[in-house]
Structure 1
Amino acid sequence: MHFSIRPVREADRETFLTMSREFYGSDAVLHPIPEAYHTATFEELIGSERYLKCLLFEAEGVAAGYALLNFTFNHEAGGRVTWVEELYVRPAFQGRGCARQFFTWLEEHFPAARYRLEVEPENERAMALYHRVGFEPLPYAQMIRDRDEAAE
């Protein structure tokens, strides 16, 4: 299978939006997100790569998935951290090495002191894959405070 990775482009709008909706409609996430979030994310991707970068996966010329990356600097890690914010491989392409190839590509093209991602504990297939490519659980609990909830 010929597999390639490239940055998302304006012409990929509908492809990205469709796959983003698929991802947020899957068991890989806690809950769906509002439609406006999909569009806002794409606008940020096209407008700037300052905070977020999207990579489109193609297999045999067909959109097979995508990855959203965020970049930070982390004192504890001693350098740049690349967050794999989202990693989605369409069901027809799962189990065919797309994600494993992505992680190899990621290290070659975005060297970092640390790579980080989140995974639902129930997503055992993804957790097993991440472990095989070198990820390990962190003993931290994460906490969030969304702006809308803080204002209430």
Structure 2
Amino acid sequence: MIRPATPDDIGTILRFVRELAAFEREPDAVEADEASLHVALFGEHPAAEAVVAELDGAAAGFALFFHNFSTWTGKRGLYLEDLYVTPAARGRGVGAALLRHLAGLALDRGCGRFEWSVLDWNAEAIAFYRAKGAVGMEEWTVQRVTGDALTRLAGRG
């Protein structure tokens, strides 16, 4: 079962984010806490949305997503920031159900694209996504500015 996240899910979502960060070899990189996630998902101006996957009555995974926009399509897109399935639930269709649910949301909302990033060393995830019809954007690279570099770029440091 896939359902929209509620404020009661914040603790579970944060735990899943931390587990995902550990899997992605960045266990100390999570700066979010329950308060910041609550504001981001349920505040006055939510920045993102989340859904929770349940299996046998327990949370087994989640997906956190938001809308972006493509000038090429002239439509907004759905960007999947995080998809996580607990180790015990892997191989039981939870990840596929989350992707299918989000693809349906993208269609229902008139999105021109459904996109996400995956670490290049995560061959199992890449194979899973390819089997679902995803196409790698090999010619594109992600660019990121954070911390002091962001402050300098903004001309504030």
Give the shorter-chain TM-score range. Answer: 0.7 to 0.9
Moved more, 63-72 or 74-83: 74-83
TM-score normalised according to structure 1 size: 0.86
Question: Which whole-Å CA distance do the structure 1 matches of 2:73 and 2:142 have between them?
Answer: 17
The 3 A distance-change label for structure 1 pair 42 and 125 is farther
Alignment RMSD (CA, Å): 1.9
Aligned residue in 1 for 2:151:
151
Deviation string, structure 1 residues 93-150 (Cα, Å, up to 9, x no partner):
1111111112222222232211110101111110011111111111111211114333
Aligned residue in 1 for 2:87:
91
Q: CA deviation at 1:53?
A: 0.4
- Unmatched 5+ residue regions in structure 2? 153-157
What pairs with 1:26-45 in structure 2 (closer than 5 Å)? 26-27=23-24, 32-35=28-31, 37-39=32-34, 40-45=36-41
Q: How many residues align?
A: 147
The 3 A distance-change label for structure 1 pair 31 and 145 is farther
2:116 paired with 1:117? yes
Q: State the percentage of identical aligned residues.
A: 27
Q: Which has the bigger relative contact order, CA under 8 A and spacing at least 6?
A: 1
**Which amino acid is 2:128 matched to?**
L
Q: Is the 8 A contact 1:7 1:54 kept in 2?
A: yes
Q: Is the 8 A contact 1:17 1:42 kept in 2?
A: no
Match of 2:65 among 48, 65, 69: 69
Aligned residue in 1 for 2:155:
none
For the residue of structure 2 that corresponds to 1:99, the secondary structure is helix
The 3 A distance-change label for structure 1 pair 134 and 77 is farther
Instruction: Could you list the structure 1 runs, at least 4 aligned residues long, displaced by more than 6 angstroms after superposition.
Output: none
For the residue of structure 1 that corresponds to 2:83, the secondary structure is strand
- Unmatched 5+ residue regions in structure 1? none
Match of 1:25 among 22, 26, 41: 22
Question: Which whole-Å CA distance do the structure 1 matches of 2:16 and 2:88 have between them?
Answer: 13
Deviation string, structure 1 residues 14-41 (Cα, Å, up to 9, x no partner):
21121111111113x6564244x24323
For the residue of structure 2 that corresponds to 1:25, the secondary structure is helix
Q: Is the 8 A contact 1:53 1:70 kept in 2?
A: yes
Match of 2:75 among 67, 72, 79: 79
TM-score normalised according to structure 2 size: 0.83
